[in-house]
Structure 1
């Protein structure tokens, strides 16, 4: 019975520490720009998922990746739902970033056909980022 007491104290300490830690991952999707400006804590991961259909020629282009405060954790990953079963069906483009430098930055992506230089983007994702 005495051995259980140190374990319960350790468990309480771990729970208290976890309660004070920010959520490790923040996920943003297209309709969530109202969450911007977005405040992150150093060490948090930001996952941005936007609807995409490259078969139409449209691509998301990262115009500003907030390099002052974010570090990219890899290239864009495109996924198409397996149950769609449609050739040319839309999917999701996803980017992952690590908030690693305190300060302010700007995350800006545009959805356009890259060869149409004089045409306004079909969509824009614009979010001010603050890292504490």
Structure 2
């Protein structure tokens, strides 16, 4: 009868191992890209067109979820005599519970229009520590700054 008791112990260990492995597989989800899927306007080489008057601001809002490790950053800066970056703020999604961890929102980039002209800039969505890895998203913008009247 000792073999029956050993078999029961082995069965319990097997069930525990299967449960643990299933749990670990479920927790090991892979983030393949940013929140909201992966879109890019740079693959076709086309820029999104924006315009503003001198002295005004232009804002770009892009879906983001910093809890995934991804963040938007300037890959190519605009001409500083035409357009100045004033940085980005994360605006939580309207449905997010205040103070909740892991919720996404929008990264809102603000640019000050300084003088008439046209310039471009590129924002990329990537993990900053992943060197040599292409960004999950890339957005190219062309901004036309017009004189204010």
TM category, shorter: 0.5 to 0.7
Larger Rg belongs to: 2
- Asked if 1:83 corresponds to 2:95, the answer is yes
State how far apart, in whole Å, the 2-side matches of 1:130 and 1:75 are: 19
Q: How big is the shift at 1:127?
A: 0.8
Structure 1 unaligned residues grouped into runs of 5+: 1-30
Q: TM-score if structure 2 supplies the norm length?
A: 0.58
Alignment of 1:131 with 2:128, yes or no, is no
Q: Distance in 1 between matches of 2:137 and 2:65?
A: 13
C-alpha separation between the residues in 2 aligned to 1:106 and 1:68?
Answer: 12
Residue range with higher mean Cα deviation, 104-113 or 86-95: 86-95
- Tell me whether 1:69 sits opposite 2:82 in the alignment: yes
1:39 aligns with 2:46: no
Partner of 1:51: 63
Deviation at 1:84, TM superposition (A): 2.0
Q: Per-residue displacement from partner, 1:68-96 (whole Å, max 9, x unpaired)? A: 31123x33111213532353111111121
How many residues are aligned here? 100
Structure 2, unmatched stretches of 5+, are 1-38
1:35 CA drift (Å): 7.8
Name the CA distance, whole Å, in 2 between partners of 1:113 and 1:35: 23
Deviation at 1:126, TM superposition (A): 0.5
Judged with a 3 Å threshold, the aligned counterparts in structure 2 of structure 1 residues 126 and 35 are, in CA distance, closer, same or farther, namely closer
Which residue is equivalent to 2:22? none
Q: For residues 117 and 78 of structure 1, what CA distance do their matches in structure 2 show? A: 24
Change over 3 Å in CA distance of 1:123–1:35 after alignment to 2: closer
Maintained 8 Å contact 2:92/2:105: yes
